[in-house]
Amino acid sequence: MKAGSRKLGKVRELSELLNSHKIIQSFTYYHTERENIFTACILIDADKHIAARGVSIKSDLDAHRKSEAQTKAFGRAVKALVQKKSGLPITRLEVYSVWRTHCILPDPYKSAYYPQPTAEEQKMLSKIRREHE
């Protein structure tokens, strides 16, 4: 089996997984203040609720790569969806990195299952609901 066909197989598996959980959309957004602080990915279910959120927090010591952060955030959202629970608590150092910017993440997890939406996520959900009326 070639590497390309293995990758295609994984894409199909992921698509089937998301369909089985009735995920209709995913959104990635960033919180920045002079530089990217965190990347979040939310998975929206058929009822237009956030089924899962994945977060990738930039360390002050890391060089940031948007593509890596997107992949990490998406993977964490999928993990919460599959496990049907929140996990990966945000560490004390990461909390400092996020909270010093006065940003609000209502859940203390990088992988959250049916999380409380942030104000920004509420706006996204409102837009989706209007589009699907």
- The per-residue pLDDT string of the chain (133 residues; one tens digit each, 9 = 90 and over) reads 454 555 556 788 888 999 999 999 999 988 776 665 788 999 999 999 999 999 988 776 666 678 888 999 999 999 999 999 999 988 766 665 555 555 566 778 889 999 999 888 999 899 888 887 7
Three-class secondary structure of residue 109 per DSSP: strand
CA distances from 92 to 5, 35, 73, 85, 121 (A): 42, 20, 19, 21, 24
List Cα–Cα distances, 113 to 7, 17, 19, 21, in angstroms.
27, 15, 17, 12
Six-digit token string for 133: 């009326």
pLDDT of the residue at 64: 66
State how far the Cα of 33 lies from the Cα of 22, in Å rounded to an integer: 34
**Can you tell me the distance from the alpha carbon of 104 to that of 119, in angstroms, rounded to the nearest whole number?**
9
Question: Structure pTM?
Answer: 0.82
